[in-house]
Structure 1
Amino acid sequence: MGVSDGSSLVQMCIVKVAQNIDLLERKVLNLPVSLLKDLLPHLNIYYLDRIETAAATKGISTSVIWAKIWRDLDQTWRWRSKSAPLTQDWKQRCLERLFHMLMFTQVRRAGSYLSNLSDSSILSMTVKHVRVLSLNTSSKNICRLASGDLRPILSALETGVTSLRLLDVNALFKHGRKYVLFILHRLLDHGSVREVVLRRNPDSSFLRWLMSRHRGPQGSSETSHADGHCSVEHDGELEEPAAKRLALDVEEHPEVLCSEFSSFSSPADHCPKGQIQSLDFEVSKCEILTTVSHILPTWVCLHTLHLHSDWLIQEEEMSVLVQSLRRLFLNPGCSLTDLSVSHVCGHTHVISVLRACPTLLSLSLEICPPADRNAHGQQTHFSQSKELCLEKLSVKSTGPMSVKCFLPALTCAHKLTSLHLTGVHMSSRFFHTLAESNPLLKVLNLEDVNLADYHREILPFLEYSVLEDLSLKDCRLLDKCAVKKDFLLPFVEALKGVSSLQSLTLAQNRLASGVIEIANLFSGCRPSKITTLDLSSNFILPAELLEFAQLLETCRPVQRLTLDLRFNPLDRDPEVKGQALRKLIPYCNILTDDWDSRSTMADHISVM
């Protein structure tokens, strides 16, 4: 047979066992651990799922196998890191992706993981693992879910799916509007979906229907006037005039469809109304002024609202939105805690939104300030007695905006634990305010913020902070340093004094040779306890990395360190780079890449 050694014979036996696993399933669990490990990659997903619990009792994890299947399914996969995230549930992610491919598009049967499995058996197995259901323009087979053959699959989706992503509703409706509405009704009203992501503005009638899913199951009175529709029997396809009439009825009373697809509910049944708690969607100007502003004040079950737009939300629309939010928060039953709005015009909306939503826990605004700096308007202030519940604040500015515009909010947010600022002009009062008013701050993320003139403010702030995550990305830390050590040495000492610090990001700060001073984080009698260090895009050369590695070899971090070295010109000397990495590997999980620093002048200039 051409067998040259024992290992080849073993491999042949393993393949044979995998092909007959239906007969040998109970016996394979008695195999030695080494043979069982070799067998698992040859099993299809059905038997891999059945055997993994027993394999776990022998200390064998199937996570690597599921990750390999995932990479085979996802042709856009790019494996950049040296090691997979240990917390990733590869099995769930893999089977969820496989369901979408088989149900809505197509799947290549190239791997052994699908051998001897029919489409129906794959769907029945994978549907149990679908938590996020994504429907987009390629979902041509969505109407199959309304058919009798696949209604058990739809029932399983109702039970398991908690998040629904609708990427182009108008395109989906072209496949059959009443079928799509029926499926959405089952998922939203009868199912477990509480989160909806909506992209590409749908027609206004569907948006109104979707946003009416806000009263929850207790709102059954809204369907009480639909009894006349429930007794209607439908045989076969509807004629065109009746179909149009049905579409209008379904927008208001989805139980019309539930009576047509009678296997789900009897004509006498009243359908519950769903309770969307998280909505993330693209919104147009007219939708803010009409649909959103009218529905929002009554949407007391809504916990999270993210509004995106490709156009600038002007003062008029923002004013209407803020008034709607104020009316919602005046309701004692209001549940909204997380709000995000993009492309807002103006400087003072951080304050105006927080005044309207005093119990909000998380706020994220992307602000596009007007070019006219005189158009700032009158600054809004909180009263001294006003205290916010705010715990997380994120402000991204795409134009000239000073942090002074929302310092009053920081002074009243004593429970703030996370602050993320991008593109904001700094003020000398900023770090003083954080130290005085935000003693619980654990996460500080500053990006594209010029800190070159604020070294004296940074150091005393760190002395009294309880930060766990500090990110200073593209903050021009060393731009005005004649000698880098003059700032880096006291900066590193201050960081070592923050005993709670676990993650430090210094990407895009032109550290270069300054990386050697950063190594002092792990030296001395009180070394830093950080476990994540991001030094990417700092123009660190191989010789500088080698000296950094030698210092770490001497100091040895208290805990294993995840070290990000991507987008540094380490290709300038591959031999020295290799020496440095070999010294770091015993103490670090290294994130690196094959970036070619000479391939483009733009890349080079960006880190000079």
Structure 2
Amino acid sequence: MGNSDGSSLVQMCIVKVAQNMDVLEKKVSNLPVSLLKDLLPHLNIYYLDRIETAAATKGISTSVIWAAIWRDLDQTWRWRLKSALPDQDWKQRCLERLFHMVLFTQVRRGGSYLSHLSDTSILSMTVKHVRVLSLHTSTKNFCRLASVDLRPILSSLEKGVTSLKLLDVKSLFKHERKYVLFILHRLLDHGSVRDVVLRRNPDSSFLSWLMSGRRGPQLTVSTAPETSHADGHDLDSKCSAELEEPAAKRLALDVEGNPEVLCSEVSSSSSPADRCPEGQIHSLDFEVSKREILSTVSHTLPTWLCLRTLHLHSDWLISEQEMSVLVESLRQLFLNPSCSLTDLRVSYVSGHTHLISMLRACPTLQSLCLEICPPADRNTWRPQPRFTENKELCLEKLTVRSTGPMTVACFLPVLTSAPKLNNLHFTGIHLSQQFFHTLTGSNPSLKVLKLEDINLSDYHQEILQFLKHSVLEELSFRDCRLLDKCAVKKDFLLPFVEALKGISSLRTLMLSQNRLATSAIEMAELFSGGHPSKITKLDLSSNFILPAELLEFAQLLETYRPVQRLMLDLRFNPLDREPEVKGQALRKLILYCNILTDDWDSRSTMADHISVM
């Protein structure tokens, strides 16, 4: 029985129940499982949130509904990774996105998930799910948070937001500067924000305001000169004129800059006598200019004792001169026993010569990431300084990305001096036979090895020998031309697979962009025999795997029956060439794998085809 548009009576009743949830909510939990499942897509987010517990008791997950809402909100999802997230992650993403859209931009109201909900009610519901607050060029309504009407929303943000992203500060300060600073002060000092991302900073005055009073308890920093750092001191004195910023350009502690005055003027709950708390920034990620390195950063960094993570980004090359100033500031910071900095990332650096100087200045640093642009003229390269004999680094993670030709010899002394290293990521660096020997002898605790855009075709025996002695948990060879010089590809792949099976700790193997093609079938042997691999994530994306080859891989997997369920990445392979064979292969694989795939049209590009010609 149905009406003229084909809707059944049951469907009409479900829609009617959804429209009257304010009256029927308590009775909904008595519905049969099948009807409850049909009801969920018709609920708005308020009732979907409230009914989750009752649905869970009946074994019903709302994950699919939150995922559908996310796809409706984020129209770019089709071009990104399609992967399953835990239920709470989908809900978190949806509600955090909705908050930003309602407060700062607009949201389409076509879906039932927003029916009968005002902007205020959406904000009140979603604000408690906001962990990362992102402010960018479209945040014209940001200053509304300072109004009396939205003060409860701001109070909730103070409690929940832990990360603040200011993605266009220059645009942000085109609005009411006083109210912008008031809101930022409430989030940073009265709130829970500990991580800050800063892009397009308009001037050093705002950076000074951000850094002032948020550095943790300040202690005396010893700056006793050391002979080995004479060059840094000399450079610092030569640049003294640049380091001193005119007083007129420093941020004045006026009505806008003084937190107590801001609170007393904008917030009726504070008085001039009230003392505002001082927040602490533990992680700072910002785009830096030459002026900021030579002034604000170099002066403030030695006193920023609560800072744990510092990421300095620039779209220009940080020169030798600027790096020397930065290294000296870091040295002064690490002389203080209360220094908390453990994670440092700098890009883009002109040359590699400051790597060891930086590690000498930061002996307790645990993670270092450098993006290096080597000078085109090799004659301009300066020799690296040397480590003090028997000097051990605390370094646990090292990431180096090079945009030009650079040999691994520059980094071998670091690997030799870092016995605690457990994570290594190199991109675009020319290796040598000594590299894998060094890893085996000096870095026995290495858990993660990622090599990218590196030609490994000449180091097969070194790789196999290294794997026999490794305790890796993750191995990634991305775009490493693994099989380029193999007359018979199995001659390397079979010993390679056997060596991987011998690493009982290995859980992730990533072989993207290695032109495996038909050789991808051999990777199924990882799960064969009496001692199969315990890998749970296998990345075979961008390897020109055709449907027939995937079917053969699936048939072998069906024979070996992996004990652990496998996350299998098959994106950017021309599987659309034979849809029926692809479907047959995927049906077999789905029994043993969670498959990451896409709607990539291989016929629209010849890049992969040309790469294997």
TM surpasses 0.5: yes
1:95-122, CA deviations, whole angstroms, 9 ceiling, x for partnerless residues?
1111111111111111111111122111
Contact 2:548–2:582 (CA under 8 A) maintained in structure 1 = yes
Q: Separation in 2 of the partners of 1:438 and 1:250?
A: 55
Contact 2:543–2:608 (CA under 8 A) maintained in structure 1 = no
Partner of 2:143: 143
Q: Separation in 2 of the partners of 1:62 and 1:314?
A: 53
Q: Separation in 2 of the partners of 1:409 and 1:246?
A: 41
Q: Separation in 1 of the partners of 2:318 and 2:256?
A: 29
SS in 1 for 2:602: coil
Q: Does 1:358 align with 2:370?
A: no
Q: Separation in 2 of the partners of 1:565 and 1:99?
A: 34
Partner of 1:258: 263
- C-alpha distance 132-607 of structure 1, shift in aligned 2 (>3 A): farther
Q: Does 1:482 align with 2:507?
A: no
Q: Separation in 2 of the partners of 1:67 and 1:596?
A: 24
Contact 2:43–2:113 (CA under 8 A) maintained in structure 1 = yes
Contact 1:503–1:531 (CA under 8 A) maintained in structure 2 = yes
* 1:93-492 aligned within 5 A: 93-216=93-216, 249-250=254-255, 252-492=257-497
1:134 partner amino acid: S
SS in 1 for 2:340: coil
Q: Does 1:508 align with 2:513?
A: yes
Partner of 1:222: none
The one of 539, 550, 554 equivalent to 1:549 is 554
Q: Separation in 1 of the partners of 2:269 and 2:204?
A: 28
Deviates more, 1:530-539 or 1:49-58: 49-58
- C-alpha distance 144-594 of structure 1, shift in aligned 2 (>3 A): closer
TM-score (norm 2): 0.91
Q: Separation in 1 of the partners of 2:81 and 2:567?
A: 11
Q: Separation in 2 of the partners of 1:480 and 1:282?
A: 42
1:96 partner amino acid: E
Contact 2:545–2:574 (CA under 8 A) maintained in structure 1 = yes
Q: Separation in 2 of the partners of 1:470 and 1:361?
A: 21
Deviates more, 1:265-274 or 1:481-490: 265-274
Q: Separation in 2 of the partners of 1:83 and 1:11?
A: 31
Contact 2:182–2:262 (CA under 8 A) maintained in structure 1 = yes
Contact 2:366–2:396 (CA under 8 A) maintained in structure 1 = yes
Deviates more, 1:17-26 or 1:575-584: 575-584
Q: Does 1:529 align with 2:534?
A: yes
Q: Separation in 1 of the partners of 2:443 and 2:485?
A: 29
Contact 2:63–2:87 (CA under 8 A) maintained in structure 1 = no
Contact 2:199–2:287 (CA under 8 A) maintained in structure 1 = yes
Residue 440 of structure 1 deviates from its aligned partner by: 1.1
SS in 2 for 1:598: helix
- C-alpha distance 395-139 of structure 1, shift in aligned 2 (>3 A): same
- C-alpha distance 576-115 of structure 1, shift in aligned 2 (>3 A): closer
Q: Separation in 2 of the partners of 1:546 and 1:180?
A: 58
* 1:74-93 aligned within 5 A: 74-78=74-78, 84-86=84-86, 89-93=89-93
Q: Separation in 1 of the partners of 2:607 and 2:340?
A: 48
The one of 586, 591, 600 equivalent to 1:595 is 600
Q: Separation in 1 of the partners of 2:585 and 2:110?
A: 40
Q: Does 1:8 align with 2:8?
A: yes
Partner of 1:229: none
Q: Separation in 2 of the partners of 1:309 and 1:82?
A: 31
Partner of 1:35: 35
Partner of 1:569: 574
Deviates more, 1:420-429 or 1:84-93: 84-93
Q: Separation in 1 of the partners of 2:143 and 2:178?
A: 9
1:428-487, CA deviations, whole angstroms, 9 ceiling, x for partnerless residues?
111111111111111111000111111111011101111111000111111111111111
Contact 2:215–2:307 (CA under 8 A) maintained in structure 1 = no
Deviates more, 1:257-266 or 1:527-536: 257-266
Q: Which runs of 5+ in 2 are unaligned?
A: 220-248
1:33 partner amino acid: V
Partner of 2:245: none
Residue 410 of structure 1 deviates from its aligned partner by: 0.9
Q: Separation in 2 of the partners of 1:470 and 1:359?
A: 26
- C-alpha distance 392-246 of structure 1, shift in aligned 2 (>3 A): closer
Partner of 1:26: 26
Q: Separation in 1 of the partners of 2:478 and 2:83?
A: 24
Q: Separation in 2 of the partners of 1:137 and 1:206?
A: 17
TM-score (norm 1): 0.92
Contact 1:351–1:381 (CA under 8 A) maintained in structure 2 = yes
Contact 1:217–1:272 (CA under 8 A) maintained in structure 2 = no
Q: Separation in 2 of the partners of 1:293 and 1:80?
A: 39
2:529 partner amino acid: G
Deviates more, 1:86-95 or 1:549-558: 86-95
Deviates more, 1:568-577 or 1:202-211: 568-577
- C-alpha distance 346-524 of structure 1, shift in aligned 2 (>3 A): same
* 1:34-53 aligned within 5 A: 34-53=34-53
Residue 492 of structure 1 deviates from its aligned partner by: 0.8
1:171-228, CA deviations, whole angstroms, 9 ceiling, x for partnerless residues?
1111111110111111111111111100113222111111214334899xxxxxxxxx
Q: Separation in 1 of the partners of 2:67 and 2:360?
A: 47
CA-based RMSD of the aligned residues comes to 2.2
Deviates more, 1:63-72 or 1:310-319: 63-72
Deviates more, 1:595-604 or 1:448-457: 595-604
Q: Separation in 1 of the partners of 2:370 and 2:540?
A: 28
Deviates more, 1:1-10 or 1:249-258: 1-10
Deviates more, 1:210-219 or 1:274-283: 210-219
Q: Separation in 2 of the partners of 1:6 and 1:25?
A: 27
Q: Which runs of 5+ in 1 are unaligned?
A: 220-243
Contact 2:457–2:483 (CA under 8 A) maintained in structure 1 = yes
Contact 1:213–1:276 (CA under 8 A) maintained in structure 2 = no
1:376-421, CA deviations, whole angstroms, 9 ceiling, x for partnerless residues?
3222222332111111111000011111111111112111111111
Residue 541 of structure 1 deviates from its aligned partner by: 2.3
Residue 20 of structure 1 deviates from its aligned partner by: 0.9
SS in 1 for 2:368: strand
Residue 603 of structure 1 deviates from its aligned partner by: 4.3
- C-alpha distance 298-5 of structure 1, shift in aligned 2 (>3 A): closer
Q: Separation in 2 of the partners of 1:181 and 1:4?
A: 58
Deviates more, 1:438-447 or 1:112-121: 112-121
Q: Separation in 1 of the partners of 2:112 and 2:585?
A: 40
Aligned length: 584
Aligned structure 1 segments of 4 or more residues deviating by more than 6 angstroms: 4-7, 244-247
